[in-house]
Amino acid sequence: MILWSRLEAFPLDEPDAGHPFSARLAKEQGWTHAETARVLREYKRFLFLAAVAGHPVSPSEPVDHAWHLHLLYTRSYWQRLCREVLAFDLHHEPSQGGRDERMKFHDWYSRTLESYRFHFDEDPPADLWPAPGAKKSGGSGARWFEPARFWLVPKFWPFRRGGHSPFA
């Protein structure tokens, strides 16, 4: 498992960064340092599977958040991770939408979980890798926006009797 050793040793945080990658991920997702560390370990496991599984892989939602952010750190991602550690370019291929794509990614995700069990000889943590049917249930708590920059308005209206939305 030479590749796994290289991935474990790969620093996602630059040593001299004032606001490192992991801190930015934690802030954007509202995760604690410990939660972020767990997600980053699973992100590295996902990268390993992408290299060795022999089939397309699909990340869980929290792992996908880490991947999306890492793609913004272009030198770290493309030069150091892909070229030096993985030795191939790992492109992010988002869904094209529609039923066929949902089924394809459902299959890829199911196969990813099977490969996880095979290569790591353990079940993936259910809170970070939910069962395939629950993958997009919204239960991860991950966010696709930065809450410090946007307002989030609840669907219910707390000042109205019964808590019903005035927009319904």
Q: How many domains does the chain have?
A: 1
Question: Is the full-model pTM beyond 0.85?
Answer: no
Residue 124, in any domain of the structure: yes
* 161 belongs to a structural domain: no
Measured distance CA(151)–CA(20) in Å, rounded: 25
CB-CB contact of 58 with 47 (8 Å): no
Domain of residue 42, residue span: 2-6+19-139
Rounded to 10 degrees, the C-alpha dihedral 127/130/135/136 comes to -20
Does residue 79 contact residue 71 with C-beta atoms inside 8 Å? Answer: no
What are the Cα distances from residue 135, in Å, to 31, 61, 92, 103, 126?
19, 7, 18, 13, 10
Q: Which of 106, 105, 95, 99 is nearest to 132 (CA)?
A: 106
Residue 96 lies in a domain: yes
Instruction: Answer yes or no: is 126 within a domain.
Output: yes
Q: What is the pLDDT along the chain (168 residues), one digit of tens a residue?
A: 799 999 999 999 998 888 999 999 999 999 999 999 999 999 999 999 999 999 999 999 999 999 999 999 999 999 999 999 999 999 998 888 889 888 999 999 999 999 999 999 999 999 999 999 875 544 444 455 556 666 656 665 555 555 555 554
Q: Is residue 37 part of a domain?
A: yes
Domain-embedded: residue 106: yes
Asked whether residue 11 is assigned to any structural domain, the reply reads no
Would you say residue 122 lies in a domain? Answer: yes
